[in-house]
Structure 1
């Protein structure tokens, strides 16, 4: 498990989340811990480490 900081695309607040890189690249939804809106997360596992890209679910 890796700990990453992301910024909510709705409220703009940054928070820390845990990601499981053992399954490789993945897409999943995680609720913002501040505004509770659903964030679409794209996790890419690279040789330099995991990259987590958050997106609004209405984009």
Structure 2
């Protein structure tokens, strides 16, 4: 998964490349570094 560090806080849904189930991705960044990342399968 690619995360754009120019966006300080982001949440989006992406389909898994393997099983095609939706995954909710939440990431936070500070400058060029990702400080928090979470990916959870949606049901």
TM range (shorter): 0.7 to 0.9
TM-score between the two structures when normalised by the length of structure 1: 0.57
TM-score between the two structures when normalised by the length of structure 2: 0.72
Count the aligned residue pairs: 42
Task: Show structure 1 runs of 5+ residues with no match.
Answer: 1-16
Between 1 and 2, higher relative CO (CA 8 Å, sep ≥ 6) is seen in 2
The runs of at least 4 consecutive aligned structure 1 residues that moved more than 3 Å come to: none
Q: Which of the two has greater helix per residue? A: 1
